[in-house]
Amino acid sequence: MIDTLTPLTENQRAIQNMARDFARSELAPHAGRWDREERGDPAITARLGALGFLGMMLPESVGGLNLDTLSYLLALEEIAAADASTAVTMSVHNSLPTRMLLNFGSPAQQQAYLPRMATGELLGAFALSEPEAGSDASALRTQAVRDGDFWVLNGTKAWVTNGNCADVILAMARTDTADARRGSRGISAFIITPDLPGFRVGKKEQKMGLRASPTVQLAFDGMRVPADRLLGAEGLGFVYAMQSLEAGRLGIAAQAVGIARAAVEATIAYTRERQQFGKPLTAFQAVEFKLADMATRLHGARAMLHATAAAKDRGEPAGAHAAMCKLMASEAAMWITTQAIQLFGGYGYVTDYPVERLFRDAKITEIYEGTSEIQRIVIGRALASA
Ligand SMILES: Cc1cc2nc3c(=O)[nH]c(=O)nc-3n(C[C@H](O)[C@H](O)[C@H](O)COP(=O)(O)OP(=O)(O)OC[C@H]3O[C@@H](n4cnc5c(N)ncnc54)[C@H](O)[C@@H]3O)c2cc1C
């Protein structure tokens, strides 16, 4: 086990152990099959909820565990090391819809959703991206028009994780008008539930990795949303989404660390066992050097993540550091899983061992919640304006 060097409190260690036990017994044995069948077990969401993993940082007043960021990231790493698809469900739910409701929702909105989101009775999703608006999300086109006590939404959301099984979706739509566009300040956030007339689940994506996590398009066809489902102030939805994505980046970094750790551990075990030229592979220095580089990148990514989590919990802004964590961890995960396949040789290329799944799962961490290029833009801008 390649464990963290970060000093942990008794409580953090207990959370880590609970997540590790759950991941090893209830996720790891099934992750390969879920990947092949392109669907997870819906009962896992209920288990995540029962264990408190879906309300980890929510206050106790709405049924959460009120834990610190590091506890959350430790749990996420354990889940991701066993099954990255389950980890993204946990990350999106905790970082995006629940955080947006907590930080910007009215007391009535919070009470209506958060207690049941904390237990997993309601699963959350986040719908910002559109077919034509990804990295430049402020160019989104879904339009909301006020009609009495309703907003009427028309448009298509793309790439919505859990969009076909979520109960509460935080969706961004334009509330400015065609003759007075206001850019990112013309976007508002809405609380969407699948029972609304005009809500439709569209195409389900066939993916390279993260195959047990459903990613779908959502169509809003004249969808009538009660006016009290507007989150916070009109025109600030994009700001809310961007602020929440900052926390989300730490979650994706933890997911990447988990995938990378699983790859390092599997590779160490394999290269100790596998014999060529009459010796275990670890007897060859070229192999040892590769293992050393893999473990070093893993420790570096994780140490930066934990330091940033601690700073965030002290109340310091995580901004550029959160972007650095995601950039470093996701690129480490991609590099490490690539080396893992190389060290497994042909056995790394087939499905008998988990490293090919880890390789496929690692790739998405360089893309979603802001690509590596976008993280570099965020970091570069912070440096230029400091
Ligand atoms: C499995 C999966 C799950 C997802 N889940 C969600 C979700 O739950 N909710 C949600 O809202 N979205 C979700 N997304 C969408 C994801 O966040 C976007 O795919 C991502 O932001 C990139 O947008 P894009 O795919 O449109 O790529 P584009 O923005 O078209 O980018 C294409 C390439 O151009 C580069 N590029 C773009 N602009 C610049 C620039 N200014 N400078 C340099 N390079 C640039 C990008 O880095 C990238 O390499 C998900 C995506 C996937 C694949």
**Is residue 12 pLDDT above 80, yes or no?**
yes
CATH number, domain at 224?
Answer: 2.40.110.10
- CATH code (residue 62): 1.10.540.10
Return the pLDDT at 318. 81
Q: Is 380 found in the same domain as 246?
A: yes
The pLDDT of residue 95: 92
Instruction: Tell me what the mean pLDDT of segment 156-185 comes to.
Output: 96
**Does 207 lie in the same domain as 183?**
yes
Any domain includes 348: yes
Q: Specify whether 369 is catalytic.
A: yes
Please state, rounded to an integer, the average pLDDT across all residues of the chain.
96
Query: 19 C-alpha vs ligand 1 centroid, how far in Å?
Result: 30
Q: How far is the CA of 353 from the centre of ligand 1 (A)?
A: 30
Paired residues of 129 in beta bridges: none
Domain termination residue (choose one: 83, 118, 153) = 118
Domain boundary among 77, 98, 118: 118
In a domain, 5, yes or no: no
Average pLDDT over every residue of 253-273? 98
User: Which residues constitute the domain of residue 260?
Assistant: 239-385
Of 236, 265, 290, the residue that ends a domain is 236
What is the pLDDT, as a whole number, of residue 4? 85
Report the domain count for the chain.
3
* Per-residue pLDDT at 59: 96
pLDDT > 70 in the chain, percent: 100
Residues in CB range of 155: below 8 A, 6 or more apart: 130, 140, 141, 142, 143, 173, 219, 220
271 has pLDDT over 90: yes
Q: Is the domain of 63 the same as that of 51? A: yes
* Burial of 55 (C-beta count, 10 Å sphere; 0-12/13-18/19+): buried
**Is residue 129 in contact with ligand 1, taking CB distance under 6 Å?**
yes
> For 325-336, what is the mean pLDDT?
98
Pair (128, 80) in one structural domain:
no
Decide: 79 and 19 in contact? Cβ < 8 Å: yes
Task: Read off the pLDDT of each residue in 90-113 and give the average, rounded to a whole number.
Answer: 97
pLDDT tens digits, residue range 333-342?
999 999 999 9
> Do 266 and 353 lie in a common domain?
yes
188 strand-pairing partners: 173
Mean pLDDT over 72-93 rounds to 98
> Are 192 and 256 in a shared domain?
no
Q: Is residue 348 domain-shared with residue 215, that is, in the same domain?
A: no
Q: Which of 26, 331, 366, 369 is catalytic?
A: 369
- SS3 of the chain: helix, strand, coil, percent, to 5: 55, 15, 25
Is residue 1 assigned to a domain?
Answer: no
Write down the pLDDT at residue 5: 86
Look up residue 150 and give its two tokens. Answer: 């309703």
Half-sphere exposure (Cβ direction) of 373: Cα atoms closer than 13 Å: 3
Q: Is the CB of 103 under 6 A from ligand 1?
A: no
Say yes or no: 98 and 136 in one domain: no
Give yes or no: residues 62 and 101 share one domain. yes
Candidates 25, 162, 17, 37; CA nearest to 87 is 162
* CB 368 less than 6 A from any atom of ligand 1: yes
pLDDT of 1 over the 80 cut: no
Per the domain annotation, does 2 fall within a domain?
Answer: no
First CA to last CA across the chain, in angstroms?
Answer: 39
In this structure, are 16 and 111 located in the same domain?
yes
Q: Which residues pair with 216 in a beta bridge?
A: 160, 204
* Closest among 167, 140, 166, 168 to 154, alpha carbons compared: 140
Same domain, residue pair 46 and 135: no
Closest ligand 1 atom, residue 161 Cα = 8
Does one domain contain both 90 and 130? no
Q: Is 278 left (phi over 0), alpha (psi -120 to 50) or beta?
A: left
Cα(372) to ligand 1 centroid in Å equals 10
Whether the per-residue pLDDT at 135 is higher than 80: the answer is: yes
Percentage of residues in the chain with pLDDT exceeding 90? 94
Mutate to test the pocket of ligand 1, among 190, 205, 368 (most ligand atoms within 8 A of CB): 368
327 lines ligand 1 (CB under 6 A): no
386, pLDDT greater than 80? no
